[in-house]
Amino acid sequence: ERLLTEDSTLHLCLACRNMQRAEAARSALLTSHPDAHVQLLHLDVGSVQSVLSAAQEVKTRYSKVDFLYLNAGIMPNPQVDINAFFKGLFSRNVVNMFATGEGLLTQQDRINSDGLQEVFATNLFGHFLLIRELEPLLCQAGHSSRVVWTSSSNARRSAFSMEDMQHRNGTEPYSSSKYASDMLSVALNRHKNSQGLFSSVICPGLVMTNLTYGILPSFFWTLIMPIMWLVRIFTNTFTLTPYNGAEALHRLFLQSPESLDPRAKYHSLTSGLGTNYTQPRQMDIDEEMSEVLYSKLIELEKDVRRKLVMKNSDKNTRG
Ligand SMILES: NC(=O)C1=CN([C@@H]2O[C@H](COP(=O)(O)OP(=O)(O)OC[C@H]3O[C@@H](n4cnc5c(N)ncnc54)[C@H](OP(=O)(O)O)[C@@H]3O)[C@@H](O)[C@H]2O)C=CC1
Ligand SMILES: CC(C)=CCC[C@@H](C)[C@H]1CC[C@H]2C3=C(CC[C@]12C)[C@@]1(C)CCC(=O)C[C@@H]1CC3
């Protein structure tokens, strides 16, 4: 909605897994921008086959892609550690606890039909595969393109292990997947800037969406809203509405790729008085580690492609 307000001639493609919701979003956009070009595309970013089919469809519809917003993300079965919350409330770490949720949340992950951990597959690997498939449209001579990852302040180095990049063994797959996306963005810049592709990372702040309503019920968030406005004075990360949360996405759209800091996370922030702004903050990333992650993802990509070919040929011989 904000991008169309900026440039009503944009050609938008909403890539969604739920076509009913996608159609509703398209209708809403056409209500405020009746002449807008808004297309829909079916994409389940957590499924390898769906990513490959969607990318194929993009290649038939478009000759280039200028911006790729990688926003889809999940946090399944979140649990809040109440004891840690009250302990944190009376500690020196209280502001950081509200800004990042550090130490407060665990999730229960599962294995998807591709044999991958679902959070890793959805929040990281599906997006990676999409970029790889769309490289011909993103990397074109004399043209610069942008990839923007919706990461999180909850991304934490200590939640990620290179030996277990899918986070099969831990209880913080969300934090791990978001830290991995931060590292991948840094690696993508190193590998692809020379081909005109620039990657950035944003954090929307704490926003009231289906994701946060999965952590605590919506009536509870409504009840504690006055407390949240109060907390906003100390952290500015409680953006609360999707409009405020989109501030950094909007700002990056207006900024030239050369002026972006590849090692910064761009945070949407809202002041106590309700003013929105974007602030770049340095990420805790090790270049060598990001390179290792990039190589491991390329290996995994080869592996899933091989498995998919075998699965499809099995189906053909049986069918
Ligand atoms: N809310 C917050 O406080 C914060 C959110 N974020 C990040 O912001 C992003 C957006 O989340 P938010 O709006 O809060 O949460 P929502 O759950 O409201 O939205 C998530 C979106 O991702 C889509 N999605 C999830 N899985 C898939 C999939 N497999 N294929 C395609 N689309 C999928 C959902 O589609 P569907 O409608 O079909 O469910 C939905 O549109 C996420 O990456 C999240 O991690 C980061 C920091 C804070
Ligand atoms: C009084 C009050 C505001 C209580 C809520 C306590 C916690 C449930 C929240 C405090 C910080 C929040 C937070 C998130 C979830 C809810 C909290 C832990 C996120 C982890 C949600 C997803 C993200 O990507 C980042 C958020 C950081 C802050």
211 Cβ closer than 6 Å to some ligand 1 atom: yes
Residue located nearest, by CA, to atom 47 of ligand 1: 152
Give pLDDT, residue 311. 85
- Find all residues with CB under 8 Å of 220, minimum gap 6, and list them: none
DSSP letter for each residue of 89-154: HTSTTHHHHHHH-TTTEE----B-TTSSBHHHIIIIIHHHHHHHHHHHHHSBTTB-EEEEEE--TT
126 Cβ closer than 6 Å to some ligand 2 atom: no
Asked if 196 contacts 139 with a C-beta cutoff of 8 angstroms, the reply is: yes
Give pLDDT, residue 317. 79
- With a cut of 90, say whether residue 109 has pLDDT above it: yes
210 Cβ closer than 6 Å to some ligand 1 atom: yes
Q: Which atom of ligand 2 is nearest to the CA of 231?
A: 3
Tell me how far apart the alpha carbons of residues 190 and 119 are, in angstroms, rounded to a whole number.
Answer: 25
Distance 319 CA to ligand 1 centre (A): 36
Mean pLDDT, to the nearest integer, of 296-304?
Answer: 97
Give pLDDT, residue 50. 97
Mean pLDDT, to the nearest integer, of 155-180?
Answer: 97
Range with the poorest average pLDDT among 17-31, 196-210, 300-314:
300-314
Range with the poorest average pLDDT among 66-70, 227-231, 263-267:
227-231
Provide the pLDDT confidence category of residue 319 given band limits of 50, 70 and 90: low
Give pLDDT, residue 167. 98
Mean pLDDT, to the nearest integer, of 219-248?
Answer: 94
Distance 141 CA to ligand 2 centre (A): 43
Q: Which residue has the higher pLDDT, 314 or 175?
A: 175
Tell me how far apart the alpha carbons of residues 286 and 291 are, in angstroms, rounded to a whole number.
Answer: 9
The domain spans of the chain are 43-318
Provide the pLDDT confidence category of residue 108 given band limits of 50, 70 and 90: very high
Q: Which residue has the higher pLDDT, 318 or 257?
A: 257
Asked if 228 contacts 166 with a C-beta cutoff of 8 angstroms, the reply is: no
Active site residue 266: no
Mean pLDDT, to the nearest integer, of 108-134?
Answer: 97
Distance 218 CA to ligand 2 centre (A): 13
Tell me how far apart the alpha carbons of residues 241 and 185 are, in angstroms, rounded to a whole number.
Answer: 26
Distance 87 CA to ligand 1 centre (A): 29
Q: Which atom of ligand 2 is nearest to the CA of 100?
A: 27
Q: Which atom of ligand 1 is nearest to the CA of 210?
A: 18
285 Cβ closer than 6 Å to some ligand 2 atom: no
Q: Could you say which ligand is closest to the alpha carbon of residue 207?
A: 1
Residue located nearest, by CA, to atom 36 of ligand 1: 18
**Summary mean pLDDT of the chain:** 96
**For the range 89-95, what are the long-range contacts, defined as Cβ-Cβ under 8 Å and sequence gap of 24 or more?**
95/234, 95/235
Query: 190: exposed, middle or buried (C-beta count within 10 Å: 0-12, 13-18, 19+)?
Result: middle
Q: Which atom of ligand 2 is nearest to the CA of 216?
A: 8
State the pTM of this model: 0.96
The CATH architecture annotation of domain 43-318 reads 3-Layer(aba) Sandwich (3.40)
Tell me how far apart the alpha carbons of residues 179 and 286 are, in angstroms, rounded to a whole number.
Answer: 11
For ligand 1, pick from 210, 249, 281 the residue to mutate: most ligand atoms within 8 Å of CB: 210
206 Cβ closer than 6 Å to some ligand 1 atom: yes
Mean pLDDT, to the nearest integer, of 157-166?
Answer: 97
Mean pLDDT, to the nearest integer, of 37-43?
Answer: 98
